[in-house]
């Protein structure tokens, strides 16, 4: 006779806005930076604590919303992640999910999956399906304001560490006029110079990707693809404003460079539209942005039905669970700033072996925030 499963009830949800320090000396740059992280901890009456994160510049605002949402979860069963997700979705967004609702859901849902794993004694990647026990990483250089020398120095260090695919940002500030206006043609010509320098620095065997973070229009995104054509760029991530599904489909018809998109998206229906319109080569549901594992797993299922792979950006050690767990999973982004901040914040993070990571056996996410780091990095 099997024993009845233990009942768990949520007794506390608490979000903390953090600013974790980021140090780039290991990449040869003296620049210092910081990473805004909103950490949520969910506790049960059975003594389990799950944690999750989301990312936003204003972590204090998102923390306030998470604490409001958390008050609705007291007494809820954390094993029923779907029931919790639906309840929060409707109470936070009224059915048309805003980005704040998505960020709030992402942090809480990740913590719920951490609790599920700890309660069942299984890692999250196995709860999601356990499709593979190792995943490959690609590195995003990610040093804010890096000049060409810093960019190429950091790239060489990352290659020495074993990364075989590097991503760099392009198109900034692009159509984001809040940071000053600059002609797009000047921006992309400068981007092409940086990509050429990067190719010269790392040689022919290393893959290079570029990411415009939705900051270009169609004309200039296509022009940038032409300008970097001699330097063998492997993919273009979120090239166009608003991840416009029709414009991305048009761009794919004009260019052979693969398009990746979705890291900034909230709604599952946006991913459906990208698939239906043939807008992307790779979908990128982001656990820390796109509503946590509960929704990202659905998007991964959609991607599988279209035979389109997913890859992942954002917080490496969280997203690796999705990429390892589901059939459509492939590679995980190692964003150097976010990874550095996580190393300062969490204990028991599994280490990379070259550019591969072996998935941990530890239950839940397999790592935990250090209480003294939470205290030190809390935004006052």
Q: Enumerate binding residues for Mg ion (CB under 5 A).
A: 211, 237, 263
Question: Residue 40's CB: how many other CB atoms inside 10 A?
Answer: 27
**By C-beta, is 282 or 345 nearer to Mg ion?**
282
Which structure tokens are listed for 242? 């608003």
Minimum CB–partner distance for residue 310 and Mg ion (Å): 14
Rounded to a whole number of angstroms, the minimum distance from the CB of residue 262 to Mg ion is 9
What are the distances in angstroms from CA 356 to CA 123, 296, 352? 18, 22, 6
How far, in Å, CA of 185 to CA of 216, rounded?
Answer: 10
- 43 or 237, CB closer to Mg ion? 237
The distance of closest approach from Cβ of residue 370 to Mg ion in the complex, given in angstroms and rounded to an integer, is 28
359 SS3 class: coil
Q: Provide the 3-class DSSP secondary structure of residue 216.
A: strand
Closer CB to Mg ion, residue 199 or residue 215? 215
Q: How far is the CB of 71 from Mg ion (least distance, A)?
A: 33
CB 294 within 8 A of CB 266: no
Residue 314 CB, nearest distance to Mg ion (Å)? 8
Pick the closer one to Mg ion by CB: 243 or 263.
263
Contact 366, 123 (CB under 8 A): yes
Of 263 and 290, nearer to Mg ion (C-beta) is 263
Return all residues near 221 (Cβ < 8 A) that are at least 6 apart.
Answer: 171, 212, 236, 239, 240, 251
Q: How far is the CB of 238 from Mg ion (least distance, A)?
A: 5
Specify whether the CB–CB gap between 259 and 280 falls below 8 A: yes
For the chain, the distance separating the N- and C-terminal CA atoms, rounded to the nearest angstrom, is: 53
- Please, which residues bridge with residue 364 across strands? 123
> Closest separation between CB of residue 294 and Mg ion, Å?
22
Please, what is the Cα angle at 283 between 240 and 81, to 5 degrees? Answer: 120
CB closer to Mg ion out of 42 and 338? 338
**Toward Mg ion, which CB reaches closer, 97 or 263?**
263
- Residues listed for the chain: 380
- Whether 155 and 202 have beta carbons less than 8 Å apart is answered as yes
List of residues 6+ apart from 352 with CB closer than 8 A:
137, 161, 162, 334
Least gap, CB of 35 to Mg ion (angstroms): 15
Closer CB to Mg ion, residue 209 or residue 291?
209
């Amino acid at each position: 006779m099997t024993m009845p499963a233990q009942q768990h009830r949520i007794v506390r949800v608490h979000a903390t806005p953090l600013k974790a320090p980021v140090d780039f000396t290991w990449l040869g740059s003296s620049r210092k930076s910081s990473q805004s992280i909103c950490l949520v901890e969910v506790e049960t009456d059975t003594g389990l604590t799950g944690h999750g994160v989301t990312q936003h510049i204003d972590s204090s605002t998102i923390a306030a919303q998470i604490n409001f949402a958390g008050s609705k979860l007291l007494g809820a069963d954390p094993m029923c992640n779907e029931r919790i997700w639906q309840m929060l979705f409707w109470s936070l967004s009224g059915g048309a999910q805003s980005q704040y609702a998505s960020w709030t859901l992402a942090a809480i849902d990740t913590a719920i999956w951490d609790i599920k794993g700890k309660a069942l004694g299984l890692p999250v990647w196995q709860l999601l399906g356990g499709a593979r026990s190792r995943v490959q990483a690609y590195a995003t250089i990610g040093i804010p304001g890096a000049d060409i020398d810093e960019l190429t120095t950091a790239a060489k260090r990352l290659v020495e560490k074993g990364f075989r695919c590097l991503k760099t940002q392009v198109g900034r500030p692009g159509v984001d006029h809040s940071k000053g206006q600059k002609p797009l043609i000047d921006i992309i010509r400068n981007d092409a110079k940086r990509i050429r320098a990067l190719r010269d620095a790392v040689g022919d065997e290393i893959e290079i990707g570029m990411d415009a973070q939705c900051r270009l229009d169609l004309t200039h995104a296509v022009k940038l693809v032409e300008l970097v054509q001699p330097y063998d760029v492997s993919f273009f991530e979120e090239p166009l404003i608003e991840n416009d599904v029709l414009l991305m489909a048009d761009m794919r018809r004009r260019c052979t460079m693969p398009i990746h998109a979705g890291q900034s998206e909230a709604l599952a229906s946006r991913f459906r539209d990208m698939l239906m319109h043939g807008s992307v080569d790779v979908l990128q549901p982001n656990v820390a942005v796109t509503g946590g594992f509960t929704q990202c797993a659905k998007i991964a299922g959609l991607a599988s039905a279209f035979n389109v792979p997913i890859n992942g950006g954002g917080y490496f050690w969280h997203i690796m669970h999705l990429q390892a767990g589901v059939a459509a999973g492939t590679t995980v982004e190692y964003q150097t700033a976010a990874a550095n901040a996580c190393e300062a914040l969490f204990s028991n993070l599994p280490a990379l072996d070259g550019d591969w990571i072996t998935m941990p056996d530890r239950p839940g996410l397999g790592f935990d925030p250090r209480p003294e780091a939470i205290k030190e990095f809390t935004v006052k």
